Amino acid sequence: MHKSYQATVPVSNRFLKKKWDDKYYSNHLISVRHAQARIDATPPQTYLHLHMKFKKLQLEEERTATIERDNRILLEKMAHIMRTTGSVDSHNDYQLKSLNQGKRRQDLLRVSKENENIIKRLIAQKLDTNRDNWKDNWSKNTLYLNNIAKYDADWYLSKPNGHQLNNGKYMSKRCQSIPREDNKPITNVENKYEKEKTMKDNND
């Protein structure tokens, strides 16, 4: 086999060259097989507390223990009630009591007294205006207005009939009506005003 071996460099003994090359190659394979990477590609370390969560388990156990204790107490109470007549007073014959009843009564009396004083003041208040004076002034103004008016005060009281409206005579008659004399006083209004004045003086 060593005679057919082709060395990479010229050698004087092919047998030894082949033996040495095989030895180098086997050492190389062993080195490659046991070689370690310069970059750490291994998975990170696993911590137990990140997977188990002992605090959560502890809280769940405490909650379960609390529920079991409450259930046991409730069961004991129910058993006691079933064995006996029970010790719960379910009568509701209590009277309502207010802590600020006196204060509210004082406030109510104060408000009632203030309202009573306001009502008395409103009743005792006199009017600033006198309706009798208004009536007298209105009568005088009406008298003066009728004295200076061009037409009579009761011109609208004479209502036309349907025939007059159709013929148009009423409208023409009204338009051609003669104005009242300016110096002619209205005796009806004067007499009415004098009567009212006399009645007022008699009452006084």
CA atoms in the 13 A half-sphere facing the CB of 33: 6
Q: What pLDDT digit, counting tens, does each position of 120-146 carry?
A: 998 888 777 777 888 889 999 988 988
- The residue type at 187: T
- Judge whether residue 55 has pLDDT over 60: yes
Report helix, strand or coil for 172.
Answer: helix
Longest dimension (CA), the chain: 176
- Judge whether residue 14 has pLDDT over 90: no
Nearest to 153 by CA among 169, 161, 142, 139: 142
Contact by Cβ (8 Å): 148, 189: no
How would DSSP label each residue in 65-106? HHHHHHHHHHHHHHHHHHHS---------PPP--TTHHHHHH
Report helix, strand or coil for 187.
Answer: helix
Check residue 178 and give its pLDDT.
43
Binned at pLDDT 50, 70 and 90, residue 163 comes out as: low
Q: What pLDDT digit, counting tens, does each position of 57-110 carry?
A: 999 999 999 999 999 999 998 898 888 876 666 666 667 778 888 899 999 999
* 38 secondary structure, DSSP code: S
CA angle 106, 112, 114 (to 5 degrees): 105
Check residue 43 and give its pLDDT.
87
Domain borders along the chain are 2-33, 133-203
Cα-based torsion angle of the residue sequence 177, 178, 183, 187 in order, rounded to the nearest 10 degrees: -40
| Phi, psi angle pair for 20, to nearest 5° | -70, -40
Extract the tokens encoding 53: 């969560």
